[in-house]
């Protein structure tokens, strides 16, 4: 009887202690200081989500003046991103510090107008000569690069076709009974498809083609500030599948992407990119070939997928025009080294005998994605069309060594 009473007393004591501990814990987790932070955080998120327009900022090419209220909104937006897992703001003055004396000013205005207030870089280049027509946000473009995200799928596709791992019609099982071939995989950026290609290719073969296509080396002939991207010396810890579907372990620059897209556009000539320092240099520029890529017979295998991205895939917000088709590849991921969320779009268009490359890299947070970058590129092309750019532009004569 005594033992039974003692046991009951112990149970009652433990119950009282547990209740007291729960009360203390509840008080600690809802302290006024932390409660204020949570409320402020929710309010900040709600306020950020409510704004759908980008605040105005003045640039040399902006039409609207800056207002103090707009600047405050921009700061609040940037601050909310910096408090997140991404370190770069969605919006910035991307033209600051650019040197434009050698630019094609029509291309420059088209690119600046399309980028607007987004934090990123735009490169416009002539695919038939390697001449850079403009670089918006040169500081960003000259860095040692960012993870290529799904844009890596273009060189992966070329590598797999070169090695006859697959052809354009080969279907790969994705899940269950679902199988896709290259055109759909490129258009809709199917990760499982390209992860499978990575496993089939292996690290050594993929690395060989990445270097052949100009990754991991400077793309330009005359830009001293340019830093090359990085290629890994071994398979990333995440595996070949992540390397060939998201570009894990790799960094590329907008200039490297422009060089590769130019080679795909012109049939396989990888030019040194040249950026004239003034208009006299622009008029006297002679194209310089870096190397010839044996991909002319493979390009028709990937172009339907790159066109499909714009027609019905990840870049469809551009708006498909069969008279002036745009070929491209989007990319969206987080560069964990920075850490920065990224939106890529590498592209080219063919108008008559002229081929023009437009590469867009966006950095920031939640506002950044490959489809957003595609929208920027689409506006570059539309701005050029509005100015009748292709009709007025002289055809560049390539070097005798081409």
Residue 317 sits in a domain of what CATH number? Answer: 3.40.710.10
Using alpha carbons, select from 238, 249, 241, 239 the residue that is nearest to residue 174: 241
C-alpha to C-alpha distances, 315 to 288, 293, 329, nearest whole angstrom: 32, 27, 7
Query: In angstroms, rounded to a whole number, what is the distance separating the alpha carbons of residues 279 and 101?
Result: 7
Does residue 92 belong to any structural domain of this protein? no
Q: What is the pTM of this model?
A: 0.78
Q: What is the pLDDT of residue 396?
A: 52
- Scan for tokens 């735009």, then name that residue: 122
Q: State which residues form the domain around 262.
A: 105-392
Q: What is the pLDDT of residue 86?
A: 83
Q: What is the pLDDT of residue 366?
A: 86
Which secondary structure element, helix H or strand E, spans residue 359, and what is its range? strand 354-364
Does residue 3 belong to any structural domain of this protein? no
Does residue 151 belong to any structural domain of this protein? yes
Query: In angstroms, rounded to a whole number, what is the distance separating the alpha carbons of residues 326 and 317?
Result: 12
Does residue 72 belong to any structural domain of this protein? no
Query: In angstroms, rounded to a whole number, what is the distance separating the alpha carbons of residues 98 and 334?
Result: 26
Using alpha carbons, select from 334, 329, 355 the residue that is nearest to residue 344: 329
Does residue 254 belong to any structural domain of this protein? yes
Q: How many CB atoms lie within 10 A of CB 374?
A: 29
- Scan for tokens 């030019």, then name that residue: 271
Does residue 25 belong to any structural domain of this protein? no
Does residue 44 belong to any structural domain of this protein? no
Total tally of structural domains belonging to the chain? 1
Q: Residue 84: helix, strand or coil by DSSP?
A: coil
Q: What is the pLDDT of residue 338?
A: 85
Does residue 63 belong to any structural domain of this protein? no
Per-residue tens of pLDDT for the chain, all 402 residues = 443 434 444 445 444 444 444 444 344 334 333 444 444 444 444 444 433 333 333 333 333 333 333 333 333 433 333 344 788 899 999 999 999 999 999 999 999 999 999 999 999 999 999 999 999 999 999 999 999 999 999 999 999 999 999 999 999 999 899 999 999 999 999 999 999 999 999 999 999 999 999 999 999 999 999 999 999 999 999 999 999 999 999 999 999 999 999 999 999 999 999 999 999 999 999 999 999 999 999 999 999 999 999 999 999 999 888 889 999 999 999 998 888 999 999 999 998 889 999 999 999 998 999 999 999 999 999 999 998 898 876 555 454 444
Query: In angstroms, rounded to a whole number, what is the distance separating the alpha carbons of residues 357 and 351?
Result: 12
- Scan for tokens 């006299």, then name that residue: 280
């Amino acid at each position: 009887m005594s033992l039974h009473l003692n046991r009951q007393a112990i149970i009652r004591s433990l119950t009282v202690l547990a209740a007291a501990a729960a009360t203390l814990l509840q008080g600690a987790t809802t302290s006024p200081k932390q409660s204020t932070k949570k409320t402020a955080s929710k309010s900040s998120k709600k306020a950020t989500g409510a704004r759908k327009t980008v605040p105005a900022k003045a640039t040399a090419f902006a039409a609207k003046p800056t207002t103090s209220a707009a600047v405050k909104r921009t700061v609040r937006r940037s601050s909310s991103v910096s408090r997140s897992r991404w370190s770069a703001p969605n919006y910035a003055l991307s033209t600051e510090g650019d040197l434009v004396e050698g630019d094609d000013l029509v291309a420059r205005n088209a690119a600046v107008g399309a980028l607007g207030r987004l934090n990123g870089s735009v490169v416009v280049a002539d695919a038939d000569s390697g001449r850079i027509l403009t670089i918006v946000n040169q500081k960003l473009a000259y860095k040692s690069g960012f993870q290529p995200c799904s844009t890596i799928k273009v060189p992966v596709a070329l590598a797999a076709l070169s090695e006859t791992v697959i052809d354009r019609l080969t279907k790969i099982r994705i899940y269950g009974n679902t199988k896709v071939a290259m055109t759909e995989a490129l258009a809709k950026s199917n990760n499982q498809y390209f992860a499978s290609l990575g496993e089939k290719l292996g690290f050594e073969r993929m690395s060989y083609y990445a270097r052949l296509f100009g990754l991991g080396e400077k793309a330009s002939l005359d830009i001293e500030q340019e830093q090359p991207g990085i290629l890994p010396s071994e398979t990333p810890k995440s595996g070949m599948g992540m390397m060939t579907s998201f570009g894990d372990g790799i960094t590329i620059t907008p200039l490297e992407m422009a060089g590769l897209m130019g080679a795909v556009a012109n049939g396989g000539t990888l030019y040194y990119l040249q950026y004239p320092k003034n208009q006299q240099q622009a008029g006297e520029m002679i194209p310089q070939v870096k190397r010839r890529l044996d991909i002319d017979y493979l390009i028709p295998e990937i172009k339907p997928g790159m066109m499909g991205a714009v027609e019905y895939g990840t870049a469809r917000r551009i708006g498909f025009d069969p008279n002036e088709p745009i070929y491209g590849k989007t990319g969206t991921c987080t560069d964990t080294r920075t850490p920065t969320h990224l939106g890529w779009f590498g592209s080219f268009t063919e108008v008559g005998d002229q081929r023009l490359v437009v590469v867009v890299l966006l950095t920031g947070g939640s506002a950044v994605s490959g489809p957003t970058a595609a929208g920027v590129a689409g506006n570059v092309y539309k701005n050029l069309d509005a100015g009748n750019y292709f009709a007025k532009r002289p055809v560049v004569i390539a070097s005798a060594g081409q």
